[in-house]
Structure 1
Amino acid sequence: MVSLVELLSIALNIEAEGYAFYTNLAAVQTEESSKKLFQNLAQQEREHQKIFKKLIGEVSQQSSSIDNWVSEEVAGYLKSYANMSIFPAMAKMKQVNFKEGLHLAVEVEKDSIIFYSELLPYAGEEKETIKKVISEEKRHLMDLLALLSQ
């Protein structure tokens, strides 16, 4: 069995990579509105990192609870999903132009929403916090789609 802590650690890495990406994208913007959007997205990713760090600490303290364990099949799926979809896209985002970066960011936000949604059935008391992160990621997605449509 794989612990929920391990999966939350993947979520923490997703947020750390998102923070780095949005910070870098903000730094190269010439238009003030785009710069502010990416700075805001970076700050929200930083807040999500804090949330996942806190959840990891809380879940670690309850490690004897059956709710904190995930089947190998589910864990394998989630790890593979992150490793095959989310992290490679984030690696590409460091080497692309603005428009391509936006498209990749949209994909990463969608994939992050899927990843976090798949975590929900295994979360106990953490469920509401993860739902909040999902809502915020959906707002990120909407902001990015609005920027793409301009």
Structure 2
Amino acid sequence: MVNLSELLSIALNIEAEGYAFYTNLASAQTDEQSKQLFQNLAQQEREHQEIFKKLINEFSQPDSSKDNWVSEEVAGYLKSYANMSIFPTMTKMKQMSSTEALKLAVEVEKDSIIFYSELLPYAGNERETIKKVISEEKRHLMDLLALLS
């Protein structure tokens, strides 16, 4: 069994990468509306980092509750998903045009929503917190899709 805090550490890394990506994308924009959108997205990713840091601390505390434990199979799946889908996509974004990066950002937001949704059954009392992050990621996705159209 794996403690949920290990998987939340992956979520923390996703948000850190997202913050760096959106900050870089904002600085590359000449259009003020796009610049503001990416700055807002970066700030929200920073807020998500703080949420996950808090959750990691809570789930790292000694606790006999089975809600905080994830099977090796599920943990392996989620780690592989992040390592094969989310992180390589973020690495590619650093070497692309704004439009290409924007399209990949849409994919990362989708993948992040899936990853966080998979954490919900193990989140115990913190389900609502993770649901809030998922809701915000969905809003990011809608904002990015609007910018693409």
Does the pair score TM above 0.5? yes
Q: Write the letter of the residue equivalent to 1:97.
A: S
Q: Write the letter of the residue equivalent to 2:84.
A: M
Structure 2 residue aligned with 1:12: 12
Gaps of 5+ in 2: none
TM-score of the superposed pair, with normalisation by structure 2: 0.98
1:63, distance to aligned residue in structure 2 (A): 3.4
Gaps of 5+ in 1: none
1:62, distance to aligned residue in structure 2 (A): 4.5
Runs of 4+ in 1 over 3 A off after TM superposition: none
Structure 2 residue aligned with 1:26: 26
Q: Percent identity?
A: 85
**In structure 2, distance between residues paired with 1:123 and 1:20:** 27
**In structure 2, distance between residues paired with 1:34 and 1:84:** 29
Structure 1 residue aligned with 2:64: 64
1:105, distance to aligned residue in structure 2 (A): 0.1
**In structure 2, distance between residues paired with 1:63 and 1:37:** 40
Aligned pairs for 1:46-85 within 5 A: 46-85=46-85
For the residue of structure 1 that corresponds to 2:87, the secondary structure is helix
**In structure 1, distance between residues paired with 2:18 and 2:140:** 11
Structure 2 residue aligned with 1:37: 37
RMSD: 0.7
Q: How many residues align?
A: 149
Q: Write the letter of the residue equivalent to 2:37.
A: L
Q: Structure 1 stretch 59-68 or stretch 131-140: which is displaced more?
A: 59-68
Q: Write the letter of the residue equivalent to 2:130.
A: I
TM-score of the superposed pair, with normalisation by structure 1: 0.98
